[in-house]
Structure 1
Amino acid sequence: MLKVIICDDNEVFLKYISKKIHEIAMNNNLNVNIKTYLSGKSMLFDLEDHIHSVDILFIDVLMDDMTGIDVSKKMREYGSNAQIIFITSVKSHVFEALDVMPPHYLIKSEIDDRVIESILMKAVTLSNKYKKSMFLYKVGHSKKTIKCEDIVFFEINNRVVTMHCSDKTEEVFYSTMDNLENGLDKSEFIRIHRSYIVNITKVASINSKNVICRDGTILPVGRKYTGKLKNQYSKFILENI
C-alpha cells in the first residue's frame, strides 16, 4: 500500500488531481491510499505522529497559509523521506527547493494524463527502492530509520528486539518476530533461528550449526532453518561473484 498525500488550496484542482491519480493507480494495478488537504498547516498537524507513513506527496508551491517548499522542509526535519512532487504555475519556484530534494514538478498549465502518469510512476519506483533500502522501527514514541546495509542481525527475546549494527552499536525496541520479518526485505534478511534474523550480505560463512558474520559474530542456526539458509546464501554468492 502506497500512501499518497495531495495538498493544494484550490479545491477544484485538488479533486481533479486526486481523481487522476486514482485512475492511473487503478490502470497500473497500484494499491494506493490517497488523502487530500487544502492547507499545508493542517496537513502537517494531521500527519505529525505518522509522517514516516507518507510515500508520495503532491503539493502546491504557492499556498496562502504556508508554501509547499516550507511544508516540504518541515517534513524533512521530521524525518520524512517521501517522494515530493511540486505543483506550480511558475517553473522557477521549483528550484527554490533544491535543498529539500531533487525536484519533481508539475506545471499546472501543462498537466495532462500522460504527464501525471509519468511523474507518478517515477515517484512510485523511487519510493519502492527507498523502502527496500531502509528499515523503519519505533523506540518509545519516536520513529526511526536505518539503512538496511548497516544492520548485521536482529536478536529477539520475549518481544524485545536488539538490532546489532555494523558500527558495533545496538538499538533496542519492541516487536513480535512476525512483525519484524514482515518489515524486512526477504531477499536480504533471513530467519536462522527462533531468536535470530541475519542480514545475508553480512554473512562470511555458514555450516549446519552456525552462521559466522563478517564482523566475527557467531550465531546459532536452528535445524528447521538450515535448508532455506543454505539455498538463500548460495543464491547470494552466485549473484555477487
Structure 2
Amino acid sequence: MINFIICDDNEFFLMEIYNIINDFCLSKKINFKIYAFNNYGSEFYDIMRKELDNKVYILDIETPNGNGIDMAKKIRNKDLNAFLIFISSYTARYISQVVSSDTMFIGYISKRKNYHEELLKKLKKIFKLGFQNNVIRFKDQGIIYTFDMRNIIYIQADSQRRRSIIHTCDGMTEVRLTLKKLKQILDYRFEYSHRSCIINHEQVIYIDTVVKIIKFKNGMTINLLSDSFIKKIRLQQTQIHFM
C-alpha cells in the first residue's frame, strides 16, 4: 500500500491535491491511503512516527504553525526512503532553501502555475522510480547514500581501516557502516560468503568450491569463501544434481 501524507493549510488546495492523488491511483489500480492535514500538529506527528510502508509526503512550505522544509528534515532523520514533494505559493522565496535543505526531495510545485500537471508528473516519477524494494538508503557520517541493490556486486570489510567497501557496477564506495548493519538493510539477494564479505547472488556467474573463488558478471573474482558457505553451496549443488 502507498501512504500519501498531505499537509496544506489552504482547504481548497488540500482537497485539490487529495482529488488528484485519488484519481491518479484509482486509474492505475494502486492500493493506497491518503492522510490529509491542515497543520503540522500532533496528528501529523503521529502519522510521521507511525511505521507505514511506502510513504509519500506532500508538504506545504509555509503554514501558520510550521514550516514544511523544517518538517522534511525531521522526516529524513527518521525515514530515508519516503518521497518528499514541496508545494508553495511563494516559489522564489523558498526555492533556494529547498535546494539546500539536503532532504532528497522529489520535486517542488508552485500553487500559482500548472500545479495539477506538475503533481501528476511527480506522481508518475515516483511510480517510475517505484516501490520495488530495489533501492536502499542510509546515512553515514552525515552523508545520505543511495544504492540500487541490483547494481551492488559485493561488499567487503576492511577491518584495519574500519570501513566497508561497497563494490558496484559503477565502481566502489567506502562507508563506515559495518557489514552487520548493511546486511540488515539488504534483501534476500545478499548473503555472507565469508565473515568479511557479503555477495549479491544475482551478480554471480559461478561459485567454484574446489578452487574457492566466486566469479561475478563483470568478470571480477574473489576468494572470500568460508568453510560453512562452501558446505552450503556443495549441498545445494548436490540437491540440484539429483532432481
By the TM > 0.5 criterion, same fold? yes
On the 8 A contact 1:134/1:146 being kept in 2, the answer is yes
TM-score, normalisation: structure 2: 0.61
Question: Against the structure 1 CA distance between its residues 31 and 207, is the aligned structure 2 distance closer, same or farther, given a 3 Å change threshold?
Answer: farther
Secondary structure of the corresponding residue to residue 21 of structure 2: helix
Structure-2 residue corresponding to 1:78 = 78
1:8-27 superposed matches below 5 A = 8-27=8-27
SS at match of 1:40: coil
1:216 maps to 2:229: no
Could you say what the CA RMSD is over the residues aligned between the two structures, in angstroms?
Answer: 4.2
Query: What is the CA distance between 1:169 and its match in structure 2?
Result: 3.3
- Which residue is equivalent to 1:170? 179
Which of the pair is proportionally richer in helix? 1
Letter in 2 for 1:200: H
Gaps of 5+ in 1: 137-144, 154-163, 229-241
Query: 1:200 maps to what in 2?
Result: 201
2:119 to 116, 120, 128: 116
1:96 Cα deviation after fit: 1.3
- Which shows bigger deviation, 13-22 or 197-206? 197-206
- The CA deviation at 1:110 is 2.5
Kindly state the Cα deviation for residue 85 of structure 1 after the two structures are TM-superposed: 1.2
State how far apart, in whole Å, the 2-side matches of 1:7 and 1:165 are: 40
Identity %: 21
Runs of 5+ in structure 2 lacking a partner?
139-144, 157-163, 167-173, 216-220
- Comparing 213-222 and 89-98, the one that deviates more: 213-222
The alpha-carbon distance between structure 1 residues 119 and 152, as it changes in their structure 2 partners (threshold 3 A), is same
Q: Give the aligned length.
A: 198
The normalised TM-score by structure 1 is: 0.62
Alignment of 1:91-110 (within 5 A): 91-92=91-92, 93-100=94-101, 101=104, 104-110=107-113
Letter in 2 for 1:4: F
In 2: Cα distance, 1:5 partner to 1:48 partner? 12
Determine helix, strand or coil for the equivalent of 2:16: helix
Offset, 1:215: 4.6
Is the CA contact (8 Å cut-off) linking 1:95 and 1:103 kept in structure 2?
no
Deviations 1:92-128 (A, max 9, x none): 1233111233561222232454332112111332354
Question: 1:37 and 1:26 mapped to 2: Cα distance?
Answer: 21
**Alignment match of 1:133 (pick from 109, 132, 135):** 135
> Cα distance 1:26–1:90, how it changes in 2: closer, same or farther (>3 A)?
same
Contact 1:83 1:126 in 2 (8 A): no
